[in-house]
Chain A
């Protein structure tokens, strides 16, 4: 997987499976959709350590029902957090901004890149599911009437870059983002309250769909984040399966790890080693005693 939290988790899996269980594990980078499709159609690769399933609920349900894929575990215990965020310094300077409605009352604080007279809501990258929901919420909160434009960021790199630029210059920024991510570990952001409860039914019927005629304000629910494996993998690697079933961590652990990685320009592999070296109490519960010894030996950890 090609985002940081998934990358480091994949490296942790890699170290644990190869050092702890003596498996011949290989890492294959890939985006969500290609990885899922390849696993579904070709049963390759075996494991997707961190799959955000909101965007592919339906195909995943079908694949599970037809026995091609197996949901092994919930890898993020709290699920992912999505929403509209503003930089913390802006939230401190304007304590009255707490909700999306509050922020939308101040287009002058969030100038659009191509038209200073308007405010900007930075959209989720093209083709991601959050692009649809952000567009619908943009309509639902009547942001256009309040002097806002929806800015297409194109890719995760574009979205990250726009946050980094705003943050370095202490400019206003408003847009979609999600946690756990290194950006949120590095740049402290304030999540705006949606002002309404998560309405699951309306979300599925309207907010999350392309042809939503009349979107109502809605709140993001926690995203389910699963480890998904192929059914072949379950059959041929039952020991590894035991580990994957138990592997679970929470957002604050991940945010902290990712922030350490960004600060130190660490690769996923270095991040994984750092995690294994410093969070013995967390990962010991994932693995068998024997595997734990092997891993400790290979990384020279005492204790």
Chain B
């Protein structure tokens, strides 16, 4: 009756052989194609390096002015600009400017990539139910798979540094924007769509002028989640050699430097809030515009 108490599992030898075969296969792949895969990511690497160079090598007052200007243009809200300014001053004062700039650069590029890929995917996904059934489990895997599981093969393929770090961040940060874009568009009232059809709008017009504006609050929530998740991955990304605020956090964890950890953690929180408030204010302004156009 042993099979009742002990699950009848694959015997040790064949399990080991299976694991070895898969590992060996992957190793062959890295040997054969590693370099070409790496070349594929070269433009992104160049972009990541340039963006970091720009943020770290430009004198800080210019960067600070630029960030405040962007937050003003996007939000037109003095409170947000002043909040941004205070956060940046505090970060600089506590000697975290350089690390913060590296993190901002990384997060900015990753968020841009996630949003620019995620929204189109979400839109397509909202159109085809079958596609939704395929993509949803993939998104589940992306969000729950412990990142180190796929980071090991990624590091073997691409080495350590910015590109594998970016992959880790994007894989983790892109699902919310896809999900919420899909959801937002699907939640648009059927009657409104019928009305749009009745006025003879093309599919593109219907999407651009009806579905996206009405789904915008949900999409903005998705962007918010994407930003937050990108920043929360900073520490994990730093475990494969991405520079920035994650490195001192790791140092703090390893040595139990409580204060160092909290300072850098708060800096991550600070930039997350700036990113979020600015993008949300921008989203709200966007919605106001649309309402005026619609004459409400």
Point out residues on B near A: beta carbons under 8 Å. Answer: 16, 19-20, 23, 27, 30-31, 34-35, 45, 49, 148, 151-152, 155-162, 238-243, 246-248, 250-256
Contacts and interface: CB of A to CB of B under 8 A. Distances in A.
Given A151-B241, A169-B30, A161 B160 contact: yes
Interface SS majority for chain B: helix
Given A114-B49, A126-B254, A165-B155, A265 B161 contact: no
A113 B49 CA distance: 11
Interface residues on A, range: 20 to 34
B240 A158 contact: yes
Interface in A144-175: 151-155, 157-159, 161-162, 164-165, 168-169
A127 B49 contact: no
A291 B43 CA distance: 63
Contact of A157 (B20, B151, B157, B242): B151
A169 B27 CA distance: 10
A40 to B, nearest CB: 11
Contacts of A151: 160-161, 241
Contact of B35 (A125, A128, A169): A169
A31 to B, nearest CB: 7
Nearest to A126: B250
Nearest to A31: B254
Given A154-B238, A169-B34, A33 B256 contact: yes
Interface of A: 31, 33, 37, 113-114, 125-128, 131, 151-155, 157-159, 161-162, 164-165, 168-169, 264-266
Query: What's the dominant secondary structure at chain A's contact region?
Result: loop
B245 to A, nearest CB: 12
A158 B155 CA distance: 7
Nearest to B46: A114
Contact of A114 (B16, B45, B157): B45
A37 B256 contact: yes
B161 A155 contact: no
Nearest to B48: A114
